[in-house]
Amino acid sequence: MDTEKRAPWYYLALLILAGESVFILPFVLQRVFRPTVLKVFQLNNTELGLCFSVYGIVALVSYFFGGPLADKYPPRKLIALGLWTTAAGGLYFATFPEFHYLQILYGYWGFTTIFLFWSPMIKATRVWGGRNSQGKAYGFLDGGRGLVGALFGTLGVLVFSWFMADNLESANLADSRFAFRKVLLVSSAIVAFVGILVWVFMKLPDRLEREIVLEKISMSQIGQVLKLPSVLLLMVIILCAYVGYKLTDVFSLYASEIMLYDDVDAAKTGAFLFYVRPVAGICIGIIADRSLPSYWLFVSFVVSLIGAMLFCMGFVVDTSVFLFLVSILIVTSGIYAARALYFAVMESGKIPLALTGTAVGLISVIGYTPDIFAGAAMGLLLDASPGLKGHQHVFYMIAGFSFVGALAAYRYYKLYRKDGKKIS
């Protein structure tokens, strides 16, 4: 079905805005303000990690049950509801609840951002892409989300600095909480406002909306989806790509411990990644639609494998800033490109459009398990072998999963390349 003429450009723009806004409160602010979050909530790193673990456990269940829900109701309504309920959690977050209640809040967010939001977002993106623009749709989605996240982080810093005392070093707990509460309230208001925009403007023609919604999802339909080779392969492909994505957190630490950068330069290395993601996602999306997304998915894994091996073999140790950043660029370009494309191949994989939500839910249950084990595995590898050796082990992990992902992507390409050919 060709929906390109019926879903305007601002439909995708709203998806991009919503797709990152919903994760601002649970994740982006913590990434930008981690020391402040630990201070104002009076947490240690382990306790904050346990909050994320609760989120991951609830999310894992929500992927499975939220998928069929996305096939029963219009994406617009579920996405807006997900944004509003997430924003409501932000109001409670701004009261600085104690640790145990904070865990409950993160479990709640695991429900609102995944059960209500995730599968509808992926399905709506497929609808916008139609038959011939899947690479562009998902490339723009992931790249745009990266850019929105960077802009939200910048806005948060501006709000925090505006309300913070002049001397940050002498600021007490009350001062920090006052300023950070403003960041949380502004963020919650923006997330809720994006929900309003989605509800009002992200509409599809009635005929198309009826085509992508099913009145009832049966167990036989779920079984039908599970039998598709494309679904099983995508479970492996997304698992491998997501491990690489989770392990990109190592680069700022590598800059500090191995390249011996100071804290500011190490932080700049981390910031560099914020801007690789949108460029890689948008570029690979445009390129993929000119040929076959499944082929470029395979190429993406090969690129990340080559880049990871540069670090594994010890070539990036005592080198210039330029060569260090180029090496990072190779690895992350492959990782971010694979992340941008893995849902773009659903169209060629013969997954029925009306069952997209169900398929995404089932795929995500396996594909996003790195949320549970990747961070812990990285920590164990680094702690077991301090210094360069530990970092090399992490890059061997990236290389190993990239290799398996390349094999699965190549198999996908061989199975469905005829179905993925462009229609003239």
Q: What is the pLDDT of residue 195?
A: 97
Question: In the numeric block, which tokens belong to residue 291?
Answer: 């040929």
pLDDT for res 159: 84
- Give me 46's structure tokens: 């382990």
Q: What is the set of domains in the chain, with CATH numbers?
A: 1-216 (1.20.1250.20), 218-424 (1.20.1250.20)
Helix (H) or strand (E) holding 122: helix 119-129
In terms of pLDDT, which residue wins out, 404 or 272?
Answer: 404
Q: What is the pLDDT of residue 261?
A: 80
**Cα separation, 263 vs 60, whole angstroms:** 35
pLDDT at position 305 is 98
Helix (H, G, I), strand (E, B) or coil at 232: helix
How many CB atoms neighbour CB 161 within 10 A?
12
Q: Is the pLDDT of residue 19 over 70?
A: yes
Look over the chain and give the mean of its residue pLDDT values, rounded to a whole number: 87
- pLDDT of 81 above 80: yes
pLDDT digits (tens, 9 = 90+) for 177-226: 998 899 999 999 999 999 999 999 988 776 776 677 666 666 777 788 88
- Give the pLDDT band (50/70/90) at residue 3: very low
Q: Which two tokens stand for residue 26?
A: 């649970």
Encoding tokens for residue 169? 């070093």
Q: Lowest mean pLDDT: which of 181-195, 264-278, 338-352?
A: 264-278
